[in-house]
Amino acid sequence: MQWRALVLGLVLLRLGLHGVLWLVFGLGPSMGFYQRFPLSFGFQRLRSPDGPASPASGPVGRPGGLSGPSWLQPPGTGATQSPRKVPRRPEPGVCGPAHWGYVLGGRDRGPDEYEKRYSGAFPPQLRAQMRDLARGMFVFGYDNYMAHAFPQDELNPIHCRGRGPDRGDPSNLNINDVLGNYSLTLVDALDTLAVMGNSSEFQKAVKLVINTVSFDKDSTVQVFEATIRVLGSLLSAHRIITDSKQPFGDMTIKDYDNELLYMAHDLAVRLLPAFENTKTGIPYPRVNLKTGVPPDTNNETCTAGAGSLLVEFGILSRLLGDSTFEWVARRAVKALWNLRSNDTGLLGNVVNIQTGHWVGKQSGLGAGLDSFYEYLLKSYILFGEKEDLEMFNAAYQSIQNYLRRGREACNEGEGDPPLYVNVNMFSGQLMNTWIDSLQAFFPGLQVLIGDVEDAICLHAFYYAIWKRYGALPERYNWQLQAPDVLFYPLRPELVESTYLLYQATKNPFYLHVGMDILQSLEKYTKVKCGYATLHHVIDKSTEDRMESFFLSETCKYLYLLFDEDNPVHKSGTRYMFTTEGHIVSVDEHLRELPWKEFFSEEGGQDQGGKSVHRPKPHELKVINSSSNCNRVPDERRYSLPLKSIYMRQIDQMVGLI
């Protein structure tokens, strides 16, 4: 009898210890699959300040009474899928309510280690130091490119030499899709020079591009990459030069005669053959800049590559007064949209441009789909076309219905925190258990529509991975808790979301995140002549490549995060960033069209008497990339307790507590 009493006592002691740990530190056993380090806020059942406990919204039950981890469950139950009930969400452009101050353990709880570590004060001196470090990072990479690589496309920072297209192996698409033998890194970096206020180098670089860069090349490039990196940068720099307000300093060019705009037009004309001889209107993925579509070209393209051309092509059309470019880009978007699943509203990631058949049925937020969603919203912000917003809202609703797993609300209820998974576009069934680094852009997109609380929660997940490895692996298996693809090519997506979340919340936590990212880049990726791709995020071995987006995006967003007085934030002009981080001003000039009748909408008439839609003032209040909220954020809503709870979550994930 004594041994039975002893066993019973030990069991009760263990249960009691788990209960105490769960309540006090959030260290209790996870009901999900996070067995090595629980992904848990430590508050599985949260109470509102004046109400009872929130209803549980954790794992979805399976037939027969069984339940499993909520992220592994489909969005509906039974044989027939049904969309999950979407939690309360603010309308686009409206910042939703927040509860962070309360959920951290009550109003009487004093500062803990996280509040001390991430205190409300991010000293001005430290902020200036981080701003200068970000600028120095850009200058080091840019100067070495100009010294060792120009006029080639990219810098090999380890061996201090340039890199161009791989002529010996045309199938090396990792290189040849991007590098067109047109001084890519210099072109891509133009507006970063302006944003950092370096007028002399900006003017010098623009003249160098005008005098040395040509697109009359025997280079086969990906239409998407050429559009976002080269066309977008030329248009951004042109707008900066011709801006009458000159907010970044004197960026004007003596005797400038719209050369960059003409270069953009020349490049776009060379890309137009991709839209010809396609039965669906979806463009071929690649063109030769001199001869057009190669005869042996692939008929399969990814959704993001074909459907993320509208911002750059639309700006070009509206600046030139020529509808051709916007028309072909918009036709491609509509063609893809019409191929979405009738049941789920989701799109796949790879499609045949001749048959319209989905070759890749995976639907997610990462590679193959990411910028398609981004450009639906950003096209509306720029051009005010109502159909773009309608498509985005419908796509976002489908994402919430079928891709979002975990508890209903980010900061209340039971179950695992939210995660967006990869599913079959037709059934909504889980296809795999990994996410890729490109998905880290999505919290930033959520900020732009005002879904700030979900953005905060999702950003914490990606930052936790960064904190664990000092980088974001290209692919991470959330079930195995390990990277699937181990390299990190200096991508900007997490930095972009960090910057936008800081602009929306003004919470110093995101300055600490930016400092952490800066220090990791300096420690692990800086080499003799620049910054190198991490080949392996665990052993920190490097590859000899510095992609152009490191200067055009990663350095730019880090600099803007710490440069509080930058004209982007102070000039009163509304700015937006393209998917390559190129800055464009949002103004009414881009909403005026002489060819409005081509895009039939409701509400009003054009000069020919045809019915068209004219956006109402309230429809144009979608949050832009500089202000990020229609009203000044209430910093009390996202104050110190937010940092405490998310740092606890992050440290739990990386096994630090």
Phi/psi of residue 309, nearest 5 degrees: -115, -5
Strands (E), 49-174: 154-156, 161-163
385: annotated active-site residue = no
CA–CA separation, 447 vs 478, rounded Å? 24
Buried b (16+ CB within 10 A) or exposed e, 619-643: eeebbbbbbbbeeebeeebbbbbbb
Q: What is the dihedral of CA 270, 272, 274, 279, to 10 degrees?
A: -160
Structure tokens at 642: 């937010």
CA–CA separation, 160 vs 125, rounded Å? 34
> Which residues are part of a known binding site?
579
Three-state helix/strand/coil letters over 450-513? CCHHHHHHHHHHHHHHHHHHCCCCCEEECCCCEEEECCECCCCHHHHHHHHHHHHHCCCHHHHH
CA–CA separation, 471 vs 463, rounded Å? 9
Tell me the three state secondary structure of residue 276.
coil
CA–CA separation, 568 vs 575, rounded Å? 7
CA–CA separation, 485 vs 252, rounded Å? 44
User: Looking at beta carbons, which pairs linking 608-613 to residues 24 or more positions away fall under 8 Å?
Assistant: 613/385, 613/386
* Cα→Cα distances 559→87, 190, 433, 500, Å: 35, 15, 34, 13
* Cα→Cα distances 423→51, 64, 434, 492, 542, Å: 36, 24, 11, 25, 33
Buried b (16+ CB within 10 A) or exposed e, 242-267: bbeebbbeebebeebeebbbebbbeb
* Residue 18 neighbours by CB distance under 10 Å: 13
Which is catalytic among the residues 177, 225, 259, 414? Answer: 225
Cis status, amide bond into 151, omega within 30 of 0: yes
* Residue 132 neighbours by CB distance under 10 Å: 14
Which is catalytic among the residues 115, 312, 408, 474? Answer: 474
Q: Give the angle subtended at the CA of 200 by the CAs of 319 and 196, to the nearest 5°.
A: 75
> Which residues are part of a known binding site for Ca(2+)?
579
Determine the distance from the C-alpha atom of residue 465 to the mean position of all C-alpha atoms in its chain, rounded to a whole number. 16
Instruction: Specify whether the CB–CB gap between 421 and 71 falls below 8 A.
Output: yes
CA–CA separation, 223 vs 650, rounded Å? 38
Which is catalytic among the residues 191, 201, 370, 416? Answer: 370
Strands (E), 58-159: 154-156
CA–CA separation, 151 vs 165, rounded Å? 12
- Residue 657 identity (one-letter amino acid): I
CA–CA separation, 401 vs 454, rounded Å? 14
In sequence order, what are the residues at sequence separation of 6 or more whose Cβ sits closer than 8 angstroms to the Cβ of residue 460?
A: 417, 646, 649, 650
603: left (phi over 0), alpha (psi -120 to 50) or beta: left
Instruction: Specify whether the CB–CB gap between 425 and 348 falls below 8 A.
Output: yes
- Residue 550 identity (one-letter amino acid): F
What size, in residues, is the chain?
657
Structure tokens at 227: 């559009």
- The sheet that has 350-352: what strands, in order across it? 300-302, 350-352, 358-360
61 - beta bridge partners? 67
370: annotated active-site residue = yes
Which is catalytic among the residues 416, 436, 493, 544? Answer: 493
Query: Which positions are catalytic?
Result: 225, 370, 474, 493
